Amino acid sequence: GIDCQGGSRMCCRQEFFVDFREIGWDDWIIQPEGYAMNFCTGQCPLHVAGIPGIAASFHTAVLNLLKANTATGTTEGGSCCVPTAQKPLSLLYYDRDSNIVKTDIPDMVVEACGCS
């Protein structure tokens, strides 16, 4: 995946960390200390459509750009910037009755993004 940096307008993964202490949730969530709610943002022009994440190479993009340009009118859209790799979030927390509960929530942390 491509991590968002600087002024890149291409589809990338934007890191966003939620600190449980900052939002006042550290009293009932024991572990971890926060949640990496990364998300995907950016454009998926035609010439990178269908090239999810790290598989995209500069050479491929350029070739595709040539093909796309020769196609009549390049229109944006039709391809979205979506997660291509995710991992679960393991939580250890107190429930209402002060029991300690451990839960693994699947697909909660975005690891990589790409164009669908």
Partner 1 sequence: TPRADNQCLVCGEPTLDLESQRKLLLNLAKRSILDKLHLSQRPILSQPVSRAALRTALQHLRGPPQGALPEADRGQEYEIISFAETGLSNINQTRLDFHFSDRTVGGMEVQQVRLMFFVQLPPNTIWTLKVRVLVLDPHDANFTLATQHLLEVDASGWHQLFLGPEAQAACSQGHLPLELVSESQIAQSSDILGGAAHRPFVVARVRVGGKQRVRRH
Chain residues that interact with partner 1, rule: CB under 8 A: 9, 16, 18, 23, 25, 27-28, 30-31, 35, 37, 39, 41-43, 89, 91-98, 100, 102-103, 105, 108
Closest CB 63 distance from partner 1, rounded Å = 25
User: What separation, in Å, do the N-terminal and C-terminal C-alpha atoms of the chain show?
Assistant: 13
**Which lies closer to partner 1 via its Cβ, residue 27 or residue 69?**
27
Minimal distance, residue 49 CB to partner 1, in Å: 15
How many residues make up the chain in this entry? 116
CB nearer to partner 1: pick between 70 and 100:
100
For 38, counting Cβ atoms within 10 Å of its Cβ (0-12 exposed, 13-18 middle, 19+ buried), the class is buried
